[in-house]
Structure 1
Amino acid sequence: MKTLIVPTVALSLALAVPALAQTPPTRDPAQIQAGTYAVDPGHTQVGWKVSHMGFSNYSGGFSDVSGSLTLDPKSPAQSKLSIKIPVASVATTSDKLTGELKGDQWLDAGKFPDMSFVSTKVTPEGKDKAKVLGNLTLHGVTKPVTLDVTLVGAGANPLSKKYTVGFEATGTLKRTEFGVKTYVPLIGDDLHLTIAGAFERQD
Structure 2
Amino acid sequence: MRKTLLFAALFAFAGSALAAPVSYKIDPNHTDVIAQWSHFGFSNPSAHFGQADGTIVYDADDIPASSVQVTLPLSGLNSFVADFDAHLRSGDFFEAEKYPAATFKSTRVESAGGNKLKVTGDLTIKDITKPVTLDVTLNKAAEQPMAKRAAIGFDATATVLRSDFGLGKFVPNVSDEVTLRITTEAMVPKPAE
TM range (shorter): 0.7 to 0.9
Structure 2: unaligned runs, 5 residues or longer: 1-16
What is the CA–CA distance in structure 1 between the aligned matches of 2:29 and 2:171, rounded to whole Å?
33
Q: Number of aligned residue pairs: give it.
A: 174
CA contact (8 A) 1:169 1:195 kept: yes
1:134 aligned onto 2:104:
no
Q: Which amino acid is the alignment partner of residue 175 of structure 1? A: R
Alpha-carbon distance, 1:34 to partner: 4.0
What is the CA–CA distance in structure 2 between the aligned matches of 1:102 and 1:88, rounded to whole Å?
9
Q: 2:12 maps to which residue?
A: none
CA contact (8 A) 2:70 2:105 kept: yes
1:80 aligned onto 2:67:
yes
1:176 aligned onto 2:150:
no
Map 1:122-161 to 2 at 5 A.
122-161=109-148
Q: 1:7 maps to which residue?
A: none
Q: 1:167 maps to which residue?
A: 154
Deviations 1:39-94 (A, max 9, x none): 01111111110111111111120111000111110011110110010012111121
Q: Which amino acid is the alignment partner of residue 118 of structure 1? A: K
Q: 2:13 maps to which residue?
A: none
Deviations 1:150-183 (A, max 9, x none): 0111212221212110000111110101111111
Of 59, 64, 76, the match for 1:89: 76
What is the CA–CA distance in structure 2 between the aligned matches of 1:158 and 1:88, rounded to whole Å?
30
Structure number with greater Rg is: 1
Q: Which amino acid is the alignment partner of residue 94 of structure 2? A: L
Q: 2:53 maps to which residue?
A: 66
Structure 1: unaligned runs, 5 residues or longer: 1-29
Q: 1:189 maps to which residue?
A: 176
Paired residue secondary structure (2:145): coil
Alpha-carbon distance, 1:142 to partner: 0.3
Q: 1:40 maps to which residue?
A: 27
What is the CA–CA distance in structure 2 between the aligned matches of 1:192 and 1:67, rounded to whole Å?
21
**TM-score (ref. length: structure 2):** 0.85
Paired residue secondary structure (1:56): coil
What is the CA–CA distance in structure 2 between the aligned matches of 1:107 and 1:173, rounded to whole Å?
15
**TM-score (ref. length: structure 1):** 0.81
CA contact (8 A) 1:119 1:132 kept: yes
Q: Which moved more, 1:155-164 or 1:39-48?
A: 155-164
What is the CA–CA distance in structure 1 between the aligned matches of 2:42 and 2:126, rounded to whole Å?
27
Deviations 1:7-55 (A, max 9, x none): xxxxxxxxxxxxxxxxxxxxxxx99x74111101111111110111111
